[in-house]
Amino acid sequence: MPLVTLDGTEYAPRTHALLLHLRTAALDVKDPGARRLALITVLRVGQLCFDCRRVPPSPLVLSRMIRVVSQLVLDQMELYAAICRQYRWPGGLRRSLRVVQSDAEDLADRLVSARVDPVSLILTSPPYPGVHVLYHRWQVYGRKETALPYHLLQLNDGSFESHYTFGSRKKPDALYFDKLAAVFASLRRVTTRSTVVAQVVGFSDPESHLPRFRQAMQSAGFDEVMNPDSPDDVIARIVPHRRWYAELCAGQGGGHEFVLIHRPRRSGASGHGPGTDFGFCARGERGRRR
């Protein structure tokens, strides 16, 4: 059974058939938790073999990859379990943890209705405005898109790219910053004065987008916190493991990620955070004010 991309091209049929066989074996696992873990393992192996590879994967490559990834998953699960056992969880671990799945704009309402205590940390990496990132597709040869990840999980994907990215990457100014401000204005209801908001984000045009991102956070009621150990106005790094087509546009500024730290604004504060005149500089791993 060949893998068929959205334009009808067949790709690595034997390797694709082996991947589907692994998916079937994962679905046959009786324990629900173990079955989910097996499916996630198959999904990761499929991504490593098919997404943006320069050459078609062979069945031998896939068989080697499943052994490596499976062992890594088992090792990490044992480490996670060991860390969890180091703490005392009132009522048990399962009762102490709660996972809420929701659209970001509805998350605050879900938390309030669930009577969750105010949060102490919001840790997130929001969509990167104007940067080409496919969250719902893999790309064969880095070009042709395939919905294979959804087929492996037996899920239907009825959303377009803009559903995952706060709007179109071609017109990030149209919706992105308004949605960002709306999401965090809503989340402010479940924060306290000591809540920390930590974000890792990148931009296709840092000169333009970073000041607007900061402005959106200010309008949502958050002030930026500078790193007291750094003389710079923002912490940045070069993005690792970039796609080949991203390297072709490296001069456009999308090759850096920024770490931004915010806290909810105190009553009566002016709301003018630092760094609004930030100028992007690609010399090294930090951005500096010009």
CA distance 195 to 30: 41
Mean pLDDT, residues 178-182 taken together: 92
Chain centroid, CA 51 distance in Å: 16
Q: Where do the structural domains in the chain lie, given as residue ranges?
A: 3-96, 104-133+169-287
Query: For residues 24 and 234, which has the higher predicted lDDT (pLDDT)?
Result: 24
Write down the pLDDT at residue 242: 54
Kindly report, residue by residue over 83-138, the tens digit of the pLDDT: 888 888 877 777 777 888 888 889 999 988 888 888 999 999 988 888 777 777 88
pLDDT at residue 2 in the model: 47
Query: What is the average pLDDT across 140-169?
Result: 77
Q: What is the pLDDT of residue 230?
A: 56
pLDDT of residue 150: 86
- Residue 216 scores a pLDDT above 80: yes
Q: What is the largest CA-CA distance in the chain?
A: 65
CATH number, domain 104-133+169-287? 3.40.50
Please write the tens of the pLDDT for every residue from 236-281. Answer: 766 655 554 555 555 555 577 888 999 999 775 555 544 443 333 3
pLDDT band for position 289 (cuts 50, 70, 90): very low
Residue with tokens 């709660």: 98
Note the pLDDT tens digit of each residue in 181-202. Answer: 999 999 999 999 999 999 999 8
Average of per-residue pLDDT values in the chain: 79
pLDDT number for residue 181 = 94
Task: Using the CB atoms, write b or e for 200-226: b if 16+ within 10 Å.
Answer: bbbbbbbebbbebbbbbbbbbbbbbee
- Structure tokens, 270: 């002016």
Q: Which residue has the higher pLDDT, 4 or 60?
A: 60
pLDDT for res 186: 94
Please give the Cα distance from 220 to 275 (Å, whole number). Answer: 17
Question: What are the pLDDT digits (tens) for 43-81?
Answer: 999 998 888 777 888 899 999 999 999 999 999 999 998
Q: What is the pLDDT of residues 126-152, one digit of tens each?
A: 888 887 777 778 887 667 778 888 888
Q: Is the pLDDT of residue 211 over 50?
A: yes
Whether the CB-CB separation of 258 and 235 falls below 8 Å is answered with yes
Cα dihedral 126, 43, 159, 12, rounded to 10, equals: 120
What one-letter code names the amino acid at 287?
Answer: G
